[in-house]
Amino acid sequence: MRYKLFGKSGLRVSELCLGTMTFGPNWGWGADKAEAKNIFDAYASAGGNFIDTANRYTDGTAESYLGEFLAPDRDHFILATKYSLYDRKDDPNFSGNHRKNMIRSLEGSLKRLNTDFIDIFWLHAWDFMTPVEEIMRGLDDLVKAGKVLHLGISDTPAWVVSQANTLADLRGWTAFTGLQFEYSLVERTPERDLMPMARAFGMAMTPWGILGAGVLSGKYNPGKVQEEQGRARLWGEVNEQRLTIAQIVEAISKEIGCTPAQVAINWVRQQPGTVIPILGARRASQFLENLAALDHPLSPDQFRRLDDASHIDRGFPHDFLASDGVRNLVTGGTYNQIDPR
CATH number at residue 231: 3.20.20.100
- Which of 218, 189, 193, 194 has its CA nearest to residue 206? 194
pTM (2 d.p.): 0.93
Work out the average pLDDT over 120-126. Answer: 98
Distance CA 123, CA 84 (A): 6
For residue 242, count CB atoms less than 10 angstroms from its CB and return exposed for 0-12, middle for 13-18, buried for 19 or more. Answer: buried
Terminal Cα-to-Cα distance of the chain (whole angstroms): 31
Distance CA 112, CA 173 (A): 28
Q: Which domain holds residue 290?
A: 3-331
Mean pLDDT of the chain: 94
- Whether 341 is covered by a domain: the verdict is no
Q: Where does the pLDDT of residue 236 fall: very low under 50, low under 70, confident under 90, or very high at 90 and above?
A: low
- Whether 336 is covered by a domain: the verdict is no
- Whether 106 is covered by a domain: the verdict is yes
135, pLDDT greater than 90: yes
Distance CA 316, CA 271 (A): 23
User: Cis ω on the peptide bond leading into residue 260 (within 30° of 0)?
Assistant: no
Number of domains in the chain: 1
- Whether 47 is covered by a domain: the verdict is yes
pLDDT digits (tens, 9 = 90+) for 147-201: 999 999 999 999 999 999 999 999 999 999 999 999 999 999 999 999 999 999 9
- Whether 337 is covered by a domain: the verdict is no
- Whether 140 is covered by a domain: the verdict is yes
- Whether 339 is covered by a domain: the verdict is no
The residues assigned a catalytic role are 57
**CB-based contact 82:95 (threshold 8 Å):** no
Enumerate residues 6+ apart whose C-beta is below 8 A from 97.
84, 123, 126, 127, 129, 130, 135
231, pLDDT greater than 70: no
